[in-house]
Amino acid sequence: MKSIFVDCSIGISGDMLASALFDLGVPINVFSDNLLNLKIDKNYHQSFFEEKSEGIKGIICRKSEIKFKEFTRSFCDVRKIILDSNLNNYVKQKSINVFEILAESEAIVHGKHISDILFHELGSIDSIIDIVNVCSAIDFLKPEKIYFSNPPAGNGVVTTSHGLLPVPVPTVLEIAKQNKIPLMFFEDEYIGEITTPTGIALIATFSDKVCRPDNINIKKIGIGLGSKNISRPNFLRVMLIDNNEDYGGNTNKMIHENLVLQEAWIDDSTPEDIAILIERLRSAGAIDVICYSVDMKKNRKGICIKAIVQPKNENFLREVWFNYSTTLGLRENNINRWILPRRTGSHKTKFGEINFKQAMRPNGQITIKIEHNDLAQISMNTGISIEEIRQELFTELSEFYEFDDCLYQ
C-alpha cells in the first residue's frame, strides 16, 4: 500500500513540489507532455536540473522566458485553457480544483464574486504549468493516500500586484482557514513568503490528512529546491512510503494500522447511562468499545471505558464523549494493531442464506466464522442444535474457501 508524505515544514510552492515529484521518479515526459497538451507557445521551455541549496542536493525547475507579454486572466480564462487542452480528465479536474480554491479565497479576501476575480501572478503560464505538473505527476504515481506536514506561515512582508502585503498573505490565510490546514510558526532568519498560495492550494486539493504518518517504511525520497536564495536550505521533500509493511520480514499479508485509544473513568453515571454511551460511541464509528470496573478515589467504584478509533474519526468521537457522558477529561494514546486479510460475504445453503467472515492466517490457512445470529435463527426454525448446524455448514462451505478477492476491513 504505497502512499506519499510531503514534508513541507520549511516551505512549499508549486514548482518545488513538481521538482520533488520528478526527483521521486516521475518520468520527464510526463512534464514535457503537459506543454504540448496545454498548447503552450513553442518558445516556452522547462527543464529540471540537479543543484544545491546551502549544501542540500535536489532538483530545481527552470523555465524559459516567454516571448510574448503575459495577460491578467480570470478564473474562467484559466479554466477554459485547461478544458480546451489535451490533458486527461483526472489532471483537468484536479488542476481546475486547485484554481477554484485559489479563486474562492481571492473572492473572499477582495469581497467579490468568483467570476470577477482576476489572477495576476497566479494566472501566469508559469503558475498553470506548475499546477498541471503536480497534478499529472500524482496521476502517474497514483498513491493510495497523500500526507502533508504542517506548512510554515512565514513572516515579514511581500510585494505583490496589490502592493505590500503581510506574510502569510491573505489568500494563504483564507485557504488555511477554509480547509482547516494548520500553519506552523517558527523562528526563521528569512523574512518573506515560504508557503505560496499555489502551494497551500495544492495541499487543500490533495491532502488526505495534514500530519506526519507514524511508522512509515520509506521507499524513496525526492527533493525539490526553491528558486529563492534565502540564506538557509530552501527545499521540500516527498517520500514514497509503505505504512503497512513489517520491517521484520515477511508477514504474509498481515496489515498494520495506526489507531487511537480513547479512555475515560466515570463514577457518577448509572449503568443504563454507560450502556447508552457505549452504543453512541459504536454508532459514531468506534472500531470497538469495552468497559470494566475500577476502584477510584475515596474507594469509589467506577467504570473504565475504552474505545479504539480510526485517527480520522478521533475528533468526532471526542465530541461524543464530552456531549453524552459526565466525564470532564479524556485520555488518548496512539496504538498499533495488526489485522489479517478478511472478507465478509453471504452464501446460499440448504438452510437458507447465511452470512460469514473469512480470514487468511499467516501460514496460508483460511478460517471461516458463520454469523451467530444466522445459526440461532436456523436452530429456532429447524430444532437442530447450533453445533450440528455449524458442522454441516462448514462442510458445505469448504468449496468456498478460495480467497481471491478479499474485502479488507
How far apart (Å, rounded) are the C-alpha atoms in residues 388 and 402?
24
Amino acid at 47: S
Residue 405 has pLDDT above 50, yes or no: no
Q: What is the pLDDT of residue 408?
A: 36
116, pLDDT greater than 90 = no
Give CA–CA dist 223/221, Å, rounded.
7
Which pLDDT band holds residue 238 (cuts at 50, 70, 90)?
very high
- Which DSSP symbol is given to 399? G
Instruction: Tell me the C-alpha distance between 73 and 76, whole Å.
Output: 8
As beta bridge partners, residue 118 has 74
Q: Is the dihedral of CA 270, 274, 275, 277 positive or negative?
A: positive
288: pLDDT confidence band, cut at 50, 70 and 90? Answer: very high
Q: Where are the beta strands (DSSP E) in 123-276?
A: 146-148, 157-160, 163-166, 209-210, 217-225, 235-242, 255-266
> What's the pLDDT at 222?
97
Higher-pLDDT residue of 68 and 181 is 181
402 against 187, higher pLDDT: 187
Terminal CA-to-CA distance of the chain, rounded, Å? 14
Q: What pLDDT is stored for residue 61 in this prediction?
A: 93
Of the pLDDT bands very low, low, confident and very high (cuts 50, 70, 90), residue 159 is: confident
Residue 298 has pLDDT above 50, yes or no: yes
**Cell numbers found for residue 59:** 532538483
Torsion sign over Cα 24, 29, 34, 37: negative
Contact 4, 202 (CB under 8 A): no
Share the mean pLDDT of the chain: 87
The helices-and-strands tally (H runs, E runs) of the chain is 11, 18
Mean pLDDT computed over 305-330:
94
**Most confident residue range from 107-111, 132-136, 405-409:** 132-136
Strand partners of residue 152: 184
pLDDT confidence bin for 402, thresholds 50/70/90: low
pLDDT tens by residue, 82-106? 999 999 999 999 999 999 999 999 9
| pLDDT (tens digit per residue) in 194-223 | 999 999 999 999 999 888 887 678 999 999
Which pLDDT score, from 0 to 100, does residue 248 have? 40
Task: Tell me what pLDDT residue 131 has.
Answer: 96
- Whether 313 has a pLDDT exceeding 80, the answer reads yes
Query: What are the DSSP calls for 84-134, one per residue?
Result: TS---HHHHHHHHHHHHHHHHHHHHHHT--GGG-EESGGGSHHHHHHHHHH
**Residue 250 — pLDDT band, cuts 50, 70, 90?**
very low
Amino acid (one-letter) located at 259: L
304 pLDDT higher than 90 = yes
The backbone region for 249, taken as left when phi is positive above 0, alpha when psi lies in -120 to 50, beta otherwise, is: left
Decide which of 399 and 267 is more confident: 267
**Residue 356: which pLDDT band, with cuts at 50, 70 and 90?**
confident
Question: Is residue 251 scored above 60 in pLDDT?
Answer: no
As a whole number of angstroms, the distance between CA 86 and CA 40 comes to 11
Angstrom CA distances, 403 to 1, 256, 388, stand at: 19, 20, 26
For 125-138, what is the mean pLDDT? 93
81 pLDDT more than 60: yes
User: Which residues lie closer than 8 Å to 87 by C-beta, 6 or more apart?
Assistant: 34, 37, 38, 95, 132, 136
User: Average pLDDT in the 347-352 region?
Assistant: 84
Helices 125-141 and 197-206: crossing angle in degrees, nearest 10, is 30
Q: What is the mean pLDDT of residues 287-313?
A: 93
pLDDT of residue 74: 86
- Which residues of the chain are in CATH 3.30.70.1380 domains? 256-339
Take residue 316 and report the three cell numbers written for it. 468526532
225: amino acid identity, one letter: L
Q: Which residues contact 45 (CB under 8 A, 6 or more apart)?
A: 35, 63, 64
- How is residue 265 written as a grid cell? 473513568
Instruction: Determine the average pLDDT of the residues in 141-164.
Output: 88
Q: Rounded mean pLDDT of 394-406?
A: 60
Q: In whole angstroms, what is the distance from residue 47 CA to residue 36 CA? A: 14
pLDDT exceeding 70 applies to what percent of the chain? 91
Give phi and psi for 285, each to the nearest 5.
120, 5
Contact 146, 203 (CB under 8 A): no
* Rounded-to-integer distance, Cα 179 and Cα 170, Å: 14
Model confidence, pTM: 0.64
The predicted pLDDT at position 258 comes to: 87
Looking at residue 228, its pLDDT comes to 86
Instruction: Quickly name the fold that domain 256-339 has.
Output: Alpha-Beta Plaits (3.30.70)
Mean pLDDT of 360-368: 82
